Structure 1
Amino acid sequence: MFLFLDRIVLGMALLRLLSSSIEFSAAMLMLYFNRVETAFKINSLLALVGPTVLLTTTSLGLVGLAGKVSPCSMAIILLGVALIFIGVNRM
């Protein structure tokens, strides 16, 4: 299927697969316990997973782009990531 996989892209994809399996497992646990209180606790734990995966995959992507993107463009990308986190924290 794939002849050549970039290590950075593979790492990013594997992190996203890990994240999706954690999310799916959490959804199954919510259905299994069938209680709002327990589902709320599980959902609260997932709030830690999302930003961690976002930061890690973004960092991997930036490492992969480091030699290919100008410093100005890199600063704009980092500013965009920072604005995402500022926007999420202000909700």
Structure 2
Amino acid sequence: MKQWIDSMDKAVLGMGLLRVVGGSLELMAAITILYFNDIKKALALNSILATIGPIILISTMTIGIIGVASELDPIRLVLVFCGVFLILLAVFK
């Protein structure tokens, strides 16, 4: 197992771990919502998740772009940044 992790790209490992953390937070929040069975607490937890989701998205995209930046032409890197900007624009609007 350690050899498999050591052979992985560090950017991919970081992106995967962030997604695991984000998914775990979502699952824990869902279980908490069901446990409390209260609409006010459910809305509060949901609003917290609404801020955590984009943070995980931005973090994983940043790690990925940093990992790919050395391999891309400058024009393609600008296109990637434009794509990320459009994703973030859609998420926050």
| TM-score normalised over the length of structure 2 | 0.90
Q: Structure 1: which amino acid aligns with 2:15?
A: M
Gapped regions of structure 1 (runs ≥ 5): none
Q: Structure 2: which amino acid aligns with 1:53?
A: I
Matches within 5 A, 1:19-58: 19-58=22-61
Note if 1:71 corresponds to 2:74.
yes
Structure 1 segments of 4+ aligned residues over 3 angstroms from their partners: none
% identical aligned pairs:
39
- Give, in whole Å, the separation in 2 of the partners of 1:11 and 1:88: 22
Residues 50-76 of structure 1, C-alpha deviations (whole Å, 9 max, x = no match) = 111111100100111011111111111
- Give, in whole Å, the separation in 2 of the partners of 1:21 and 1:81: 24
* Length, aligned pairs only: 90
Moved more, 35-44 or 1-10: 1-10
Match of 1:7 among 10, 13, 38: 10
- Comparing both structures, which one devotes a greater share of its residues to helix? 2
